Structure 1
Amino acid sequence: MTNKEVIGILDQIALLLDLSGESGFKSRAYTQAARQIERFEESVSILVEEDRLREIKGVGDALEQKITEFVTTGSLAYYENLKSQFPDSLFALFTIPGLGPKRIKQVYDELNIQSLDALEAACTDGSLGTLKGFGPKMMDKLVRGVAFAKEHQGENYYDKAYAEARRLVNILSEESTVVRIEIAGSLRRCKEVVKDVDIIASSTDPSAVMARFVEDEYVVEVVGHGETKSSVVLRSGIGADLRVVSDEQFPYALAHFTGSKEHNVVMRRRAKERGLKLNEYGLFDGEENWVCMDETEIYSKLELPYIQPELREDCGEFGLEATPELIELEHLRGVIHCHSIYSDGRNSVREMATTAQELGYKYLTMTDHSQSAGYAGGLQPYRVEQQQKEIDALNEELDGFRVIKGIESDIRADGSLDYDEDVLKTFEVIVVSVHSNLDMTEDEATTRVVKAVENPYTRILGHPTGRLLITRKGYDLNYEKLFDACVANNVAIEINANCKRLDLDWRYVRQARDKGVKLCLSPDAHSTGAIDFVRYGVGIARKGWLKPEDVLNTLGTDDFLAWCAR
């Protein structure tokens, strides 16, 4: 049992308690325990085994019993009893911005609304407007929220799906009959959200591999179990497909099931133009199947350079004359955009710095929230001074590593930054982000963000559209104007690597680069463990065709500071 699973069920219990109308004190006990476990480095399973759960702050008799039951049995009766009080369809309402547990309880109790369809109908017929707190603006927001939620139903965050895929690949690789095995589908192409997991394997005994797959301990439903394909639903709710082929077919199956559909259409057309036939089984010249040992050979047969999986969207990749050298995780020298316990982070400045150094980085920008973000412990000027003194002292100790003094300044509604100039000039780097008043027209959003970009102290624009994948669309921007402003004012744009954001969207990354905008890959880390989120940003950067020289934090410490000081 992983810590993440324990955290997940504690958060779910807190949500269900709120939905049940229990006191906030009771639900907070579970959320606080979940947050403590996030900061705890040891495995909860080991703590249970060694009878040491009480070492986690806030864990008393009741929580100890429940966590122990969940870890040792894989289920928790208390959670199941709470969940059984509500229809499963009700939980989809939590994806709608503006609908928290109290409002959901209100619409459920008073109008028996228990699904997205029912909520949409209540907005349309006006019955929702009879409830206290549901005025015209809220109704309009909910209509848009329901439409967005329906559009994204069944999608999963990249990191969640990737963790499931990697675990399955590792387990299946233990089968001695497996020759080759790879993750395929939209995961391999680094799409920002994915619907399911696709795995391709070659084996001398497909039935043994299939048996291991469907018998995995995390499988809750076997949807299909065949000789060449099996489909399951995992405990996380994610669907997974496994296809097992001969090793001769493996490169073709991997290419085909990696996709995208649009890319595959062009590949098949190129084959046809050359008198060949391409499918998931091979590349055929009449009855003869041409042997290709890997995907590179398939592309070569079709007179193409190897095209990396991230680029396979039929968005210009067939015009490449050579395989581009795309950004790799190893190219990054520094970690940009991190939070500490000074605001809403879970670790100290020292802990964040030492972790980054242990991971091989040379610098870390400490960019806690600014004073307007009171909900996140935003720093008042005296706290800024206190943190900067701590950073100076820490830098005296660190060898070969630098903590860079920064802030994530809120972009106010009028586009101004969050401090007077006397405070702004004390920072070495300023990331600016919108966190409030998100309901803007394109013109309003563009004017607001561009004004912040034009501030002489701004160096990086953080999560530029404010989107939250699956749950919130984010505001529209005039990207032409935004990119022009960034170039004119020497401002980089962040690719926020938190898998709930992955913002800037990859569809605009290449456009920004072509305009001359520098991009940076930022984990937006609120804990030491989250520093590694930057790897997901690398996938989005590659999908946006970025090379090492396009990315700001491939610069060394001195060059990065010099760039910020320009």
Structure 2
Amino acid sequence: MDQKQVAAVLHEIGVLLELSGEQPFKSRAYYNGARTVEMLTEDLEQLVADGKLEALPGIGKTLAANITELVTTGRMQYHEELKAAIPAGVLELLRIPNLGPKKARVLYRELGITSIGELEYACKENRLITLKGFGAKTQEKLLAGIEYLKRFQGHYRLDEAWSQAVEMLDELKNHAGVVEAEIAGSIRRAGEIVKDVDLVAGAREPAQVTAYFIGLPQVEEVVAREDARARVKLQSGITADLLVVEPHQFVYALHHCTGSRAHLEALEELAKNMKLTVNEYGIFHGDELLRCGHEEELYRTLGLDYIPPELRENLGEIEASLAGRLPHLVEMTDIKGVFHVHTDYSDGSHTLEQMVAGAVQKGYRYIGIADHSQSAFYAGGLKEADIRRQHEEIRSLQEKYPEILIFKGIEADILADGSLDYDDEILALFDFVIASVHHFQPGKDLTERLLKAVSHPAVTILGHPTGRLLLAREGYRVDMEAVLAALRQYQVAVELNASPARLDLDWRYFRRAKELGVKVSINPDAHRVEDLDHTFYGVLMARKGWLEAGDVFNAMGPRKMKRYLEERRSRWAG
């Protein structure tokens, strides 16, 4: 059992203890233990073998024994006993936005609710109105949360599906009979939310490959299988589909299975006008197969420039290709540095130096530290003394790490009236300011609040502009056209928050931002070193939104960025 799996079990124990009504210190011990294990840089199995678990912060004798049992046997008796005492459906209740373990326990103990369906019925019967700690408003929110869940049932975030798709692809490529294989479908098109994993393989013995595929250890259930096709349910719950074709058909099958359906239908109409037929097995002129060795050749056969997978949504990409006006999409190598990086000064897990060293290791030329501001007391928001202490450390680290520029920033809360939560004297201490909303009622219109915030001359970037959490929370309502116009007026960049849980701003707004000349800052919102890799998903979203390197704020080189930030600050702070 690997580190992440152990951490997940410890976290679930913390939840189960809350649901059981145990003393809070017990659940906190397991939550803290999960965090410690998740953030380990040492090898967990080696620590267990050496008996050194108790040397870790927050790991006592009992917790160390339970972790040892879990790592060495793959199970933990204590975990299994707790799970047996709580109906599985009660844990499922926690999938509902804003419903935590304490409230779920009340629903279970007081009303006997053990499933989402029972809770929905109870809400519609108004049984929560008089329940202590609930009431009419909570009941309405829970019903809205249930509707949200139902709408997205069977959907997964891109990062969750991507990691599993890559794992399955690697397994396929290990099969001796597979000539080539690739990920297809909405994952390849970089949809922020996907339903399943699509894989395509080229092989001369398809039946052997599908037999191998359904026998992989990640497979929990075989849903369907033919010689050249298979559908399985993975242990994570996501469905994976495999199509195996002859090697010479691979390029056509990959293109077809990548989609989108609207893009394919538009291509089929284009091909029809050329007296051609295009499908998953080839491009045909009558019965003659027009051979293509790769997708670039396939598009060229149809009289088009190559259209990258991210653009294949029938949103004008075919017309742009015909006119030779497709954008040269931004790439990871274009990103020169990252902003919106948290440290343990606020709610980050790693130290300032660890985050800087991590950025150096990943090849970035600058890093923008942006811990939470003072209003975010729940996240250890920085008071003035903390700010000055952090800035001293940054100055020291800048001497130690001359190969990277370290910019002093803050993620300032946008308060209810649109103001920022520091006065101008404090804001003038920073090289840049990310202004973000963290407290709001989902569905409420916050346009005026954002417009006032971005008008402040200290603001450099508008952070996660809609506040959405994918598959978990609707964002606030906002007139994005008005906000983008204000960003242009005040020369403020808009954030593409690359945390896979956010991917906010939505890629569908980027073409408009580009038209207005509003720069997009692809920020990882990193709380640990590995979160710096979130930038990858941000680049995928930027590509899907037709952005080029010149549209991206942090594609700017280090010297140019330093000069820009200095000039911007000097214009208002002197």
TM-score, normalised to structure 1, is 0.96
1:441 to 432, 440, 444: 444
**Shift of residue 385, structure 1, vs aligned partner:** 0.7
Distance in 2 between residues matched to 1:178 and 1:423, nearest whole Å: 61
- Name 2:195's counterpart in structure 1: 195
**Shift of residue 486, structure 1, vs aligned partner:** 0.4
- Name 2:571's counterpart in structure 1: none
* 1:347 and 2:330 aligned: no
CA contact (8 A) 2:440 2:476 kept: no
**Shift of residue 388, structure 1, vs aligned partner:** 0.7
- Name 1:258's counterpart in structure 2: 258
Comparing 380-389 with 207-216, greater Cα deviation is found at: 207-216
1:413 to 412, 416, 430: 416
Comparing 277-286 with 404-413, greater Cα deviation is found at: 277-286
- Flag the 1:42–1:201 CA change in 2: closer, same or farther, 3 A: farther
Q: Secondary structure at the match of 2:525?
A: coil
Q: Which runs of 5+ in 1 are unaligned?
A: none
Q: Secondary structure at the match of 2:464?
A: coil
**Shift of residue 114, structure 1, vs aligned partner:** 2.9
CA contact (8 A) 1:304 1:318 kept: yes
CA contact (8 A) 1:388 1:405 kept: yes
Within a 5 Å distance, the mapping from 1:326-475 to structure 2 comes to 326-439=329-442, 441-442=444-445, 445-475=446-476
Distance in 2 between residues matched to 1:255 and 1:81, nearest whole Å: 49
* 1:557 and 2:569 aligned: no
**Shift of residue 201, structure 1, vs aligned partner:** 0.8
**Shift of residue 473, structure 1, vs aligned partner:** 0.8
* 1:14 and 2:14 aligned: yes
**Shift of residue 355, structure 1, vs aligned partner:** 0.9
Distance in 1 between residues matched to 2:52 and 2:218, nearest whole Å: 26
- Name 1:145's counterpart in structure 2: 145
- Flag the 1:252–1:66 CA change in 2: closer, same or farther, 3 A: farther
**Shift of residue 269, structure 1, vs aligned partner:** 1.9
- Name 1:32's counterpart in structure 2: 32
CA contact (8 A) 1:96 1:146 kept: yes
**Shift of residue 70, structure 1, vs aligned partner:** 3.4
Comparing 226-235 with 158-167, greater Cα deviation is found at: 226-235
Within a 5 Å distance, the mapping from 1:158-557 to structure 2 comes to 158-320=158-320, 321-322=323-324, 323-439=326-442, 441-442=444-445, 445-557=446-558
Distance in 2 between residues matched to 1:99 and 1:53, nearest whole Å: 33
Q: Secondary structure at the match of 2:233?
A: strand
Within a 5 Å distance, the mapping from 1:25-64 to structure 2 comes to 25-64=25-64
Q: Secondary structure at the match of 1:404?
A: strand
- Flag the 1:182–1:146 CA change in 2: closer, same or farther, 3 A: same
CA contact (8 A) 1:2 1:43 kept: no
Paired residues, number? 564
CA contact (8 A) 1:95 1:470 kept: no
CA contact (8 A) 2:275 2:285 kept: yes
Distance in 2 between residues matched to 1:302 and 1:88, nearest whole Å: 53
Distance in 2 between residues matched to 1:6 and 1:196, nearest whole Å: 26
**Shift of residue 457, structure 1, vs aligned partner:** 0.5
Comparing 49-58 with 172-181, greater Cα deviation is found at: 49-58
Comparing 43-52 with 399-408, greater Cα deviation is found at: 43-52
* 1:82 and 2:86 aligned: no
**Shift of residue 108, structure 1, vs aligned partner:** 2.0
Distance in 1 between residues matched to 2:217 and 2:67, nearest whole Å: 19
Distance in 2 between residues matched to 1:89 and 1:238, nearest whole Å: 19
**Shift of residue 95, structure 1, vs aligned partner:** 2.7
Q: Secondary structure at the match of 1:368?
A: strand
TM-score, normalised to structure 2, is 0.94
**Shift of residue 468, structure 1, vs aligned partner:** 0.6
**Shift of residue 513, structure 1, vs aligned partner:** 1.6
Q: Secondary structure at the match of 2:128?
A: helix
Letter in 1 for 2:279: N
Comparing 501-510 with 431-440, greater Cα deviation is found at: 431-440
Distance in 1 between residues matched to 2:271 and 2:73, nearest whole Å: 53
% identity of equivalent residues:
45
Distance in 1 between residues matched to 2:516 and 2:85, nearest whole Å: 54
**Shift of residue 73, structure 1, vs aligned partner:** 4.3
**Shift of residue 9, structure 1, vs aligned partner:** 1.9
Q: Secondary structure at the match of 2:459?
A: coil
Distance in 2 between residues matched to 1:71 and 1:224, nearest whole Å: 34
CA contact (8 A) 2:252 2:282 kept: yes
Q: Secondary structure at the match of 1:128?
A: coil
- Flag the 1:199–1:439 CA change in 2: closer, same or farther, 3 A: closer
- Flag the 1:196–1:286 CA change in 2: closer, same or farther, 3 A: same
Distance in 2 between residues matched to 1:245 and 1:164, nearest whole Å: 22
Q: Which runs of 5+ in 2 are unaligned?
A: 569-574
Distance in 2 between residues matched to 1:214 and 1:364, nearest whole Å: 44
Distance in 1 between residues matched to 2:123 and 2:564, nearest whole Å: 51
- Flag the 1:300–1:550 CA change in 2: closer, same or farther, 3 A: same
Distance in 2 between residues matched to 1:122 and 1:295, nearest whole Å: 54
Distance in 2 between residues matched to 1:225 and 1:44, nearest whole Å: 39
Q: Secondary structure at the match of 1:28?
A: helix
Distance in 2 between residues matched to 1:287 and 1:80, nearest whole Å: 61
**Shift of residue 67, structure 1, vs aligned partner:** 2.9
CA contact (8 A) 2:20 2:86 kept: no
- Name 1:2's counterpart in structure 2: 2
**Shift of residue 319, structure 1, vs aligned partner:** 1.4
Comparing 519-528 with 172-181, greater Cα deviation is found at: 172-181
**Shift of residue 52, structure 1, vs aligned partner:** 4.1
- Flag the 1:253–1:147 CA change in 2: closer, same or farther, 3 A: same
Q: Secondary structure at the match of 1:521?
A: strand
- Summarize deviations over 1:318-353 as a string: whole Å, max 9, x none: 111334310111111111100001000011111100
- Name 2:94's counterpart in structure 1: 94
Letter in 1 for 2:346: S
